[in-house]
């Protein structure tokens, strides 16, 4: 997948056609080469250069189109920016993604499970259509991949092959949890322990590609390991007593302790296998999703309090774990992330409904081939649990740039990449 700014791109193509200049043709060929994907600010630079030269040159105003008036300075500035872009590298060489349906980009497509979304209306705003992403477009990890400067999204483990694994792999699986049994009532899934096994397989393949273990170790030490998991250990385990006995075994406080202890061992296993940069995501307000409110009711509250309290107990254990890991494993960097968007962000979105008609999967997913709302960009929730491309962009930018210790501690993704 190559990222593109379609609206600006179309405008540029029109102006490139109108100018009839060899130099402009050269510039346009640079921008539209199929292997290139300039960031949006370069599209704007080129657009301004072409458009202002076309319209503001004295000769064009007097008679015909002669876009040479502003050529010398603008051309040099443009070439400088294009050269900087061409030489740019991603902020990190590779990015590995672990998690559940919030990050899954197709690993569940061929599994026997209710937790898969390789059908419309999922993907209606994604270039390749329905890919297995639980959204109308990108998920949060996709946007972070863009912000880090990668040209391609990370391939799902199920489709990973060849040298594309050198820049990262996505292992996430819808309905997966920290615990192996979480989500089993929905069918097959790839729990965190299995995702780690899959990563070990990828490490072996990377070693074969690079030719030695030392090069592999050096590469992995520079990658970011993004892990967003734990929601299903609550919504598809602890709070499903008809399928699981964990709520009879543990109080919410005890369950958070047990869960984070297991999570800690999984994180350390990744560390033992070469990981050195960790982005560990806390749980969002799982009691505020449309499906949670519909299933449990709120008793007059805005959200389902017992679910949010449980998520808070988990987060309150995860944050000290991040500090402990940073103190004990000093050659690695760990950060806690829980981007939520600001009240100002939320004020312009519909928060109390879904864009698509829910009822598929276990009741929370879009009904196959149903017609969604006319403007997904106005909604937080795409289906009963998962968020829209628009909202995923908001929280991804927060995870990447925020300076709030409530959303990123001790540092955001941008700073983690620099360490």
Note the pLDDT of residue 79. 53
Q: How far is 314 from 311, CA to CA, in rounded Å? A: 5
pLDDT band with cut points at 50, 70 and 90 for residue 127:
very high
Note the pLDDT of residue 45. 43
In the predicted structure, residue 217 carries a pLDDT above the cut 90: yes
The predicted-structure confidence for 14-56, as pLDDT tens digits, reads as follows: 434 444 444 444 444 444 333 334 444 444 444 444 444 444 4
Instruction: Please name the helix (run of DSSP H) or strand (run of DSSP E) that holds residue 137, with its range, or none.
Output: none
The predicted-structure confidence for 82-105, as pLDDT tens digits, reads as follows: 554 445 799 999 999 999 999 999
| Average pLDDT of the segment spanning 9-18 | 42
Note the pLDDT of residue 67. 47
**Counts for the chain of helices (H) and strands (E), in that order:** 16, 9
Note the pLDDT of residue 412. 98
Put residue 303 in one of left, alpha, beta given phi > 0 → left and psi -120 to 50 → alpha: beta
Q: How far is 138 from 128, CA to CA, in rounded Å? A: 11
Note the pLDDT of residue 73. 52
Note the pLDDT of residue 81. 52
Q: Where are the alpha helices (DSSP H) in 246-358?
A: 246-249, 252-272, 290-296, 305-328, 343-347
Q: How far is 24 from 111, CA to CA, in rounded Å? A: 50
Nearest CA-CA partner of 356 in 345, 371, 346: 371
Helix (H, G, I), strand (E, B) or coil at 336: strand
pLDDT band with cut points at 50, 70 and 90 for residue 341:
confident
In the predicted structure, residue 172 carries a pLDDT above the cut 80: yes
Note the pLDDT of residue 344. 82
Q: Which of 49-53, 402-406, 411-415 has the lowest mean pLDDT?
A: 49-53
Note the pLDDT of residue 328. 98
Q: How far is 144 from 150, CA to CA, in rounded Å? A: 9
Q: Is the dihedral of CA 107, 149, 201, 228 positive or negative?
A: negative
End-to-end CA, the chain: 28
Note the pLDDT of residue 32. 37
Q: How far is 42 from 82, CA to CA, in rounded Å? A: 7
Note the pLDDT of residue 2. 52
What is the DSSP secondary-structure string of 109-121? TTSSBS----STT
Question: 60 or 397: whose pLDDT is higher?
Answer: 397
Pairing of strands 277-281, 224-228: parallel
Active site (annotated) includes residue 419: no
Q: What is the mean pLDDT of the chain?
A: 86
Active site (annotated) includes residue 386: yes
User: 205 CB contacts (<8 Å, ≥6 apart)?
Assistant: 165
CB 226 within 8 A of CB 399: no
Of the residues 182, 199, 386, 398, only one is catalytic, namely: 386
CB 167 within 8 A of CB 94: yes
Return the bridge partners of 381, or none.
354, 387
Tell me phi and psi for residue 178, to 5 degrees. Answer: -65, -40
Note the pLDDT of residue 240. 98
User: 404 CB contacts (<8 Å, ≥6 apart)?
Assistant: none
Tell me phi and psi for residue 380, to 5 degrees. Answer: -80, -50
The predicted-structure confidence for 222-272, as pLDDT tens digits, reads as follows: 999 999 999 999 999 999 999 999 999 999 999 999 999 999 999 999 999
Q: Is the dihedral of CA 158, 284, 264, 180 positive or negative?
A: negative
The pTM of the whole model exceeds 0.75: yes
pLDDT band with cut points at 50, 70 and 90 for residue 343:
confident
pLDDT band with cut points at 50, 70 and 90 for residue 80:
low
Chain-centre distance for alpha carbon 383: 17
CB 231 within 8 A of CB 283: yes
Note the pLDDT of residue 87. 55
Of the residues 100, 104, 125, 383, only one is catalytic, namely: 383
Return the bridge partners of 405, or none.
none
Q: Which of 190-199, 282-291, 339-348 has the lowest mean pLDDT?
A: 339-348
pLDDT band with cut points at 50, 70 and 90 for residue 342:
confident
Note the pLDDT of residue 78. 53
Helix (H, G, I), strand (E, B) or coil at 211: coil
Q: How far is 235 from 185, CA to CA, in rounded Å? A: 12
Give the C-alpha distances (Å, rounded to integers) separating 285 from 260, 292, 408, 411.
18, 10, 16, 21
Of the residues 37, 53, 101, 175, only one is catalytic, namely: 101
Q: How far is 409 from 419, CA to CA, in rounded Å? A: 14
In the predicted structure, residue 6 carries a pLDDT above the cut 50: no
Active site (annotated) includes residue 383: yes
Helix (H, G, I), strand (E, B) or coil at 2: coil
């Amino acid at each position: 997948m190559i990222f593109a700014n379609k609206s600006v791109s179309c405008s540029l193509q029109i102006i490139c056609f109108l100018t009839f200049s060899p130099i402009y043709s050269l510039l346009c060929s640079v921008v539209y080469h199929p292997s290139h994907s300039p960031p949006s600010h370069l599209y704007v630079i080129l657009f301004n250069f072409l458009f202002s030269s076309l319209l503001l040159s004295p000769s064009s105003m007097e008679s015909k189109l002669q876009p040479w008036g502003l050529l010398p300075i603008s051309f040099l500035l443009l070439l400088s920016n294009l050269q900087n872009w061409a030489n740019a590298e991603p902020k990190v060489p590779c990015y590995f993604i672990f998690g559940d349906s919030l990050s899954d980009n197709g690993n569940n497509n061929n599994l026997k499970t209710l937790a898969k979304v390789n059908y419309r209306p999922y993907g209606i705003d994604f270039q390749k259509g329905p890919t297995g992403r639980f959204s109308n477009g990108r998920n949060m990890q996709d946007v972070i991949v863009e912000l880090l400067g990668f040209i391609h999204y990370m391939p799902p483990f199920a489709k990973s092959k060849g040298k594309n694994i050198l820049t990262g792999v996505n292992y996430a699986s819808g309905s997966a949890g920290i615990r192996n049994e979480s989500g089993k009532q929905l069918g097959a899934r790839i729990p965190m322990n299995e995702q780690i096994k899959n990563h070990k397989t990828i490490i072996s393949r990377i070693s074969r590609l690079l030719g030695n273990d030392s090069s592999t170790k050096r590469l992995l030490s520079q990658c970011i390991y993004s892990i967003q998991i734990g929601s299903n250990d609550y919504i598809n385990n602890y709070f499903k007593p008809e399928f699981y006995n964990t709520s009879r075994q543990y109080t919410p406080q005890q369950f958070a302790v047990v869960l984070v202890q297991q999570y800690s061992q999984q994180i350390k296993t990744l560390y033992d296998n070469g990981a050195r940069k960790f982005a560990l995501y806390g749980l969002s307000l799982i009691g505020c999703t449309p499906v949670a409110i519909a299933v449990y009711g709120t008793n007059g509250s805005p959200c389902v309090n017992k679910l949010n309290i449980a998520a808070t107990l988990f987060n309150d254990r995860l944050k000290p774990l991040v500090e402990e890991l940073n103190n004990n494993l000093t050659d690695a960097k760990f950060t806690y992330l829980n981007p939520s968007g600001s009240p100002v962000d939320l004020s312009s979105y519909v928060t109390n409904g879904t864009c698509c008609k829910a009822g598929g999967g276990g009741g929370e997913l879009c009904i196959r081939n149903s017609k969604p709302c006319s403007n997904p960009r106005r909604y937080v929730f795409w289906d009963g649990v998962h968020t829209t491309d628009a909202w995923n962009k908001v929280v991804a930018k927060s995870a990447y740039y925020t300076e709030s210790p409530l959303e990123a501690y001790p540092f955001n993704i941008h700073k983690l990449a620099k360490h």
